[in-house]
Structure formats: C-alpha cells, structure tokens
Amino acid sequence: MHKIPIQIRFSDIDRLGHVNNSIYSQYLDVARLDYLNKTIRKFINWDEKTLVLVHIDSDFLQPTHINDNIFVITQTTRIGNRSIAMNQQIVDDKGNIKMKSHCIFSTLDVQNNISFPIPAEWKMAVEAFEK
C-alpha cells in the first residue's frame, strides 16, 4: 500500500466551496505515478514499453474542502499477464473516505502499438512493495 499527501490548490475549489469532482482524477494520477516510480521505475522505459490507463471508475462519497488534509492511498489488487489493477482512495487525516476509484493499466509496446506480457521483474517489484 502506498500513501501520498495531496496539496489542495485554490483553483481546485468550485463555486460550491469544495474540490470539483474532475480534479480528483488529477490527484489519482499524481499518486499512481509516484507509486509506479517507487515500484517499477528502474525497469520501465516510458518511451518504449510502458503502461497505459485503459479503465477507471470512481465513487464520490464526501466533499473535500480547501482546508482538508488529504491523502491518496494506492494499492495494486491484481497483476495479470498484460494488465495491472489498482484501487485508490482519497482520505482525510481523520480517516474519512472522500472517494474511491478502481483502475486498470494495460502494457503497451509503443513502437509496435501492441500489448506485451508483464515482465517478471515488474511483478516481483510490485509484489515486494505491497508486502
């Protein structure tokens, strides 16, 4: 499991006084990239063989306000042959879950525009991190 603090920006707040739902996807992106950098960065070449986001769904549970201290928790739930599934939550420092999300990445060989089997070292790095 990976946890990263998120700084809420003034521009994230909508007219209703809370973080706009569209902004949550940016917070999730920041956390996913940090997670991948801490797990498979030394094995991945983003310009050659990479991961692409192919599915995401989200549930918005509570509003987030400008003075909330929030974090994104990211966890890999499944490593398939050519895909990786993750669950993420945005939580505050009191443990309130603001939103939940599930996403799936697929591998992509950029030059050939096809997926490829996930290398064993990627799997081992993620599994070691998750333990």
**pLDDT tens per residue across span 61-75:** 999 999 999 999 999
Q: 84 pLDDT exceeds 90? A: yes
CA distance 86 to 48: 22
Whole-number pLDDT of residue 30: 97
What pLDDT band is residue 46 in, cutting at 50, 70 and 90?
A: confident
Stated pTM of the model: 0.92
Domain boundaries, the chain: 2-130
Whole-number pLDDT of residue 31: 97
* Superfamily classification of domain 2-130: Hotdog Thioesterase (3.10.129.10)
Whole-number pLDDT of residue 17: 92
